[in-house]
């Protein structure tokens, strides 16, 4: 189910809130939220609820056994069970066809026949990359002594399946929400701030991301594209993915506040970064910190000399790229960012133009990020090469997205999006806690706006595919 759909806004969300605050006894609230979250998730395909439930059961049981046993060897075995279960499930559904296709291609190239491994054409369960990482972090943190076991299976099921952040983050770690599962406050101030964040996030998605998406799609669909079309389309996708994903994250945090939860910040104006290192401190913060703490640090981090540090950075980003999708373009995207991070680490974590004024550093970093998004958006390497020809001017100036029909509005919002990412305050910084009366007025106004023109049920969020 989509946040930007009538079914959610006028159907499931009111049922959840009414049940949570009015109908369900307080001691059953987490069970109610878990049940509603499974309905939210199963709306897409109820069969995949079994995978979510499997992850919850294995990690809850493993975490409990890790905390209960004093034997280090047994602790490690339970931890391995948790990690292997989560990664095995993620790997099978997300990467089997990529691995089988690659193995078949290599076998055919080597003259050993073809079609050695069957392609299963599995449908990727929505959100599996997010909830497996989140659930797995519970067992790891208990093993490290960074978290205590959940009070009950229902609490843990609520934590993993909680619908605001279930399918596209932010990736919330158990120790960040443990105390809130035990005791949290509800207030009109929180609810008002949640409504504001949800409205801002929905506006980012529908008014900006969806508006520039046709410009990006147009450019990547051209067989031959010129300089103007290639750059304007790449900028359009750069804006689309930012407003789409940051909009979802704002909506998730807003919904969490309505239920009394405070989720961590996931975006901090990343396109204002003066280096790639700074960009990854600001973009998808929950994933960046997860990769740092559960992959980069265990690999050795920066504790084993500069060469090993560069290798660890590169490997972390390589696997981070693979996490995003089962395509070699994602692997190259991760390798690209890993190489840039390693080069900046050699330069003392400074950007390549660190001697220049900050505005030049930000502009240069923005271009580097955009070139990375080319690998992220293009489905094949041949399409990457075609777009690179246009970006380099090999096909002349060419034409850009046409102004006819609604094109002028798309261009206006394209310009507005550019202005916002560089000059507007981050939504996290402008969170506002209105009064009770004003919060209720905002809620009514919001519902009227949604009912008339905001909702677009045909436009899923980009990160749903990961």
Q: Please give the Cα distance from 205 to 302 (Å, whole number).
A: 38
User: Contact, 442 vs 195, CB < 8 A?
Assistant: yes
- DSSP characters over 4-20: TSHIIIIIIHHHHHHII
**In the chain, what's the furthest Cα-to-Cα distance?**
74
- Identified catalytic residue from 121, 146, 186, 324: 324
**158, 191, 323, 327, 420 from 137: Cα distances, Å:** 15, 29, 15, 25, 34
Q: Is the bond preceding residue 170 a cis peptide, omega within 30 degrees?
A: yes
User: Contact, 209 vs 269, CB < 8 A?
Assistant: no
Q: How far apart are the first and last CA of the chain?
A: 15
Would you state the structure tokens that stand for residue 393, as one six-digit string?
Answer: 């001017």
Would you state the structure tokens that stand for residue 182, as one six-digit string?
Answer: 């035990």
**150, 221, 328, 332, 373 from 378: Cα distances, Å:** 42, 10, 11, 11, 8
User: Contact, 290 vs 317, CB < 8 A?
Assistant: no
User: Contact, 159 vs 177, CB < 8 A?
Assistant: yes
- DSSP characters over 250-312: HHHHHHHHHTT--PPP--S-GGG-SSHHHHHHHSSHHHHHHHIIIIITTTTTTSS-HHHHHHH
Select from 447, 459, 436, 445 the least CA-distant residue to 190: 436
Is position 324 annotated as part of the catalytic site? yes
Q: Please give the Cα distance from 172 to 186 (Å, whole number).
A: 20
Residue 195 CB contacts under 8 Å (≥ 6 apart), including other chains: 254, 258, 439, 442, 443, 446
Identify the three-state secondary structure at position 456.
Answer: coil
Catalytic residue numbers? Answer: 324
């Amino acid at each position: 189910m989509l946040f930007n759909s009538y079914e959610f806004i006028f159907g499931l969300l009111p049922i959840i809130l009414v049940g949570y605050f009015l109908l369900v006894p307080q001691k059953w609230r987490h069970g109610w939220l878990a049940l509603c979250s499974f309905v939210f998730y199963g709306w897409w395909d109820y069969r995949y609820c079994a995978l979510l439930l499997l992850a919850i059961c294995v990690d809850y049981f493993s975490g409990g056994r890790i905390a209960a046993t004093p034997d280090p060897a047994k602790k490690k075995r339970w931890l391995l069970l948790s990690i292997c279960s989560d990664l095995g499930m993620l790997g099978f559904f997300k990467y089997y066809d990529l691995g089988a296709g690659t193995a078949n291609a290599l076998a055919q190239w080597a003259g050993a026949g073809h079609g050695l491994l069957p392609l299963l054409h599995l449908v990727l369960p929505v959100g599996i990359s997010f909830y497996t990482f989140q659930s797995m972090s519970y067992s790891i943190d208990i093993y490290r002594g960074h978290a205590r076991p959940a009070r009950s299976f229902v609490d843990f099921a609520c934590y993993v399946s909680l619908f605001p952040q279930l399918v596209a983050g932010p990736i919330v770690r158990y120790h960040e929400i443990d105390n809130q599962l035990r005791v949290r406050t509800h207030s009109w101030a929180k609810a008002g701030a949640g409504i504001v964040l949800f409205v801002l996030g929905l506006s980012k998605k529908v008014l900006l991301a969806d508006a520039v998406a046709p410009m990006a799609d147009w450019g990547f669909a051209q067989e031959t594209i010129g300089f103007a079309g290639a750059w304007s389309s790449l900028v359009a996708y750069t804006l689309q993915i930012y407003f789409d994903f940051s909009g979802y994250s704002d909506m998730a945090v807003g919904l969490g506040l309505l239920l009394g939860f405070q989720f961590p910040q996931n975006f901090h104006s990343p396109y204002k970064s003066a280096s790639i290192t700074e960009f990854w401190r600001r973009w998808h913060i929950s994933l960046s910190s997860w990769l740092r703490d559960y992959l980069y640090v265990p690999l050795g981090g920066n504790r084993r000399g500069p060469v090993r540090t560069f290798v660890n950075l590169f490997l972390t980003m390589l696997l981070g790229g693979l996490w995003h999708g089962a395509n070699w373009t994602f692997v190259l995207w991760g390798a690209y960012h890993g190489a840039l991070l390693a080069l900046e680490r050699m330069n003392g974590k400074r950007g390549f133009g660190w001697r220049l004024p900050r505005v030049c550093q930000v502009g240069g970093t923005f271009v580097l990020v955009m070139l990375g998004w080319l690998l992220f958006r293009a489905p094949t390497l041949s399409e990457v090469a075609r777009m690179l020809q246009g970006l380099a001017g090999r096909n002349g100036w060419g034409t850009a997205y046409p102004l006819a029909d609604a094109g002028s509005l798309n261009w206006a919002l394209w310009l507005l999006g550019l202005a916002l990412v560089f000059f507007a305050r981050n939504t996290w910084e402008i969170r506002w806690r209105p009064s009770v009366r004003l919060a209720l007025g905002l809620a009514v106004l919001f519902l009227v706006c949604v009912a008339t023109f905001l909702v677009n049920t045909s436009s899923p969020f980009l990160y749903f595919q990961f």
